[in-house]
Structure 1
Amino acid sequence: MASRLRTGSADMAPPISSGRGPVLWGCALAVLSIALGFGCASTSPARFPSGRALQLNVPYFPQQVGLCGPASLTSVLNYWREETSVEEVARAVYLPQLNGALGIDLTHFAQKKGMQAESYTGSLLDIKDHLARGIPLIAFLNLGGRVFPVGHFVVITGLDEAREEVIVHSGSEANKPIPYQTFIAAWEKTRYWTLQVLPPRPASL
């Protein structure tokens, strides 16, 4: 992993994908083995302030045990002025048998709200591009090992190039800084699973 991260350049190449990836759940011990298709977020490049920090003003909702997925999605939906509560999202996506939520269910919930939502394989450069355009992302991390994974959803709210830190809403902490290498090590174990949520497309004339 370390050989793929170029410290200081904020450049990390995601693994080659065959077009299929794991179905992911957060805040639960589970085997990441069920497959789903990843989308591909096509966006126009934007310029991140080189060597500086950038942080978005994303609403924070504390993540109770088992509800990191619903809380993360609630933060992003409210950022886009789609008023939603953690309880509403949890009622729709929380699975007691997993003590968490599936990434695909978070995606579908956002889509049912009329939002543009898709999951894809992200990268550090992709994070910088989205933040520069004012778009927060949801990332799925594995805080455990590959045999005994501990899934956890976080909201990416900012990035500090000088300190080499990704800034996230995570658990009971808002805008928590995490070193690049720590973040990427946990993200790599989920194949860099990322969820992009955008407002509805304007109605065509």
Structure 2
Amino acid sequence: MPATIANGLRQGWRLALCAAVLLLCGCSTLIPQTVALRTAWPAGVPQQVELTQVPFFPQKDYQCGPAALAMAMDYSGAKLRPEDLVDEVWLPSRQGSLQVEMLAAPRRHGLVSYHLAPQYTDLLREVAAGHPVLILQDAGLLFPEWHYAVVNGFDYATGTIYLRSGLEPREAMPFSYFERTWRAGHYWAMVVTPPDQVPATATEDRWLKALLGLARAGKPEATIRGYRAAVARWPDSLPASVGLANTLHDNGHLDEAAKVLRTALQRFPDSTIVLNNLAQTLSDQGRNGEALALIRRADETRSPFASEVRATRALIEERMKERTGS
């Protein structure tokens, strides 16, 4: 979705008008996911959850972004307050925060920002799993008024979503009205987790992309923890194993990198990437004889990585010549 500036609420919600607005607009077309929940509540999700331990920081002025993000990050272990995040996510010239800054800030503190799929069921599953969900919604009645808040609970029996929002530590909002405001922002939502806690709704591809963002933020040890969690969650994931081994290798943990690659090779004996990277790692440890045997195997495979294999083989052979002095 296009980047959206959220600048918070002036006075809080005017729920007295919610029902009238929905009646005028045609309920089922505005709240398709709420309608679906009435007949298909997600399996395994309890009907009542409230994460009361999520901290509450009231927003200052229009700074809903720093306030909402501080709540999610503090809950995940980074002891921060909104004022600590203002310079990271608040754009004075635009009087608000963009989603890209909201996703980037936790990574700078060693946490993973995971962008949820635009589904009500995923939001509910994350809250049920103990992860408060940071959302973007349109809080305006007549004109757009973008606002960040944190969903920390729900009650199916009463059809209520609970939020930490603006100046309200426990904003109660009907499922239907919440969806209307959330849908306006294309159901944008994110969770913030420690690297070793994979979100309940995470897919392999989305989690690995989130870890790339963490790596680019210069947090190698946190990235390693995230890849380890990925391998535990998706043991048959070749990209997770290769990503973990590469990050270990790049940060000098050669023994651990070799161990990860050997395990991966048992699962993927014909993987050119694993053969090449294990050969490189063994050569870097001075074990060039073993490395040469592996790179020869890789050389026999047909792969788009043939040029990388040739380069690794040339490096190994050069190192062996240097050792023998020939």
TM-score range, shorter chain: 0.7 to 0.9
Query: 2-side partners of 1:161 and 1:99: how far apart?
Result: 36
1:166 to 152, 161, 176: 161
Query: 1-side partners of 2:119 and 2:171: how far apart?
Result: 19
How many equivalent pairs are there? Answer: 167
Map 1:118-137 to 2 at 5 A.
118-137=114-133
Return the structure number with greater helix share: 2
Partner of 2:44: 47
Query: 2-side partners of 1:28 and 1:143: how far apart?
Result: 8
| Distance apart, 1:143 and its partner CA | 1.7
* 1:165/1:177 contact within 8 Å kept: yes
Q: CA RMSD in A?
A: 2.1
Q: Does 1:70 align with 2:50?
A: no
Give the TM-score taking structure 2 as reference length.
0.48
* One-letter amino acid matched to 1:83: K
| Distance apart, 1:91 and its partner CA | 1.6
* One-letter amino acid matched to 1:111: R
Partner of 1:27: 7
| Distance apart, 1:24 and its partner CA | 2.1
* 1:47/1:132 contact within 8 Å kept: no
2:101 to 78, 82, 105: 105
Deviations 1:72-127 (A, max 9, x none): 01001111121112111112111112211111101101111111103244322112
Task: Tell me: higher relative CO, structure 1 or 2? Use CA pairs within 8 A at least 6 residues apart.
Answer: 1
Return the structure number with greater strand share: 1
Query: 2-side partners of 1:180 and 1:28: how far apart?
Result: 21
Query: 2-side partners of 1:181 and 1:121: how far apart?
Result: 19
Map 1:142-181 to 2 at 5 A.
142-144=138-140, 148-181=143-176
Query: 1-side partners of 2:194 and 2:176: how far apart?
Result: 31
Provide closer, same or farther for how the CA distance between residues 22 and 74 of structure 1 changes in structure 2, counting only shifts above 3 A: same
Partner of 2:180: 185
Q: List runs of 5+ in structure 1 lacking aligned partners.
A: 1-20, 30-44
* 1:169/1:176 contact within 8 Å kept: yes
Larger radius of gyration: 2
* 2:133/2:151 contact within 8 Å kept: yes
1:195 to 180, 190, 199: 190
Query: 2-side partners of 1:165 and 1:22: how far apart?
Result: 29
Deviations 1:145-169 (A, max 9, x none): 79x4210000001001011011000
* One-letter amino acid matched to 1:167: Y
* One-letter amino acid matched to 1:112: R
Aligned to 2:171, the other structure's residue is in SS state strand
* 2:8/2:64 contact within 8 Å kept: no
Give the TM-score taking structure 1 as reference length.
0.75
Aligned to 1:22, the other structure's residue is in SS state coil
* 1:59/1:78 contact within 8 Å kept: yes
* 2:8/2:63 contact within 8 Å kept: no
* One-letter amino acid matched to 2:7: C
* 1:46/1:132 contact within 8 Å kept: no
Partner of 2:86: 90
Partner of 1:15: none
Q: Once superposed, which parts of structure 1, at least 4 consecutive aligned residues long, lie more than 3 Å away?
A: none
Provide closer, same or farther for how the CA distance between residues 75 and 154 of structure 1 changes in structure 2, counting only shifts above 3 A: same
* One-letter amino acid matched to 2:82: V
* One-letter amino acid matched to 2:70: T
Deviations 1:144-203 (A, max 9, x none): 379x42100000010010110110001111121111111111111110000121112337
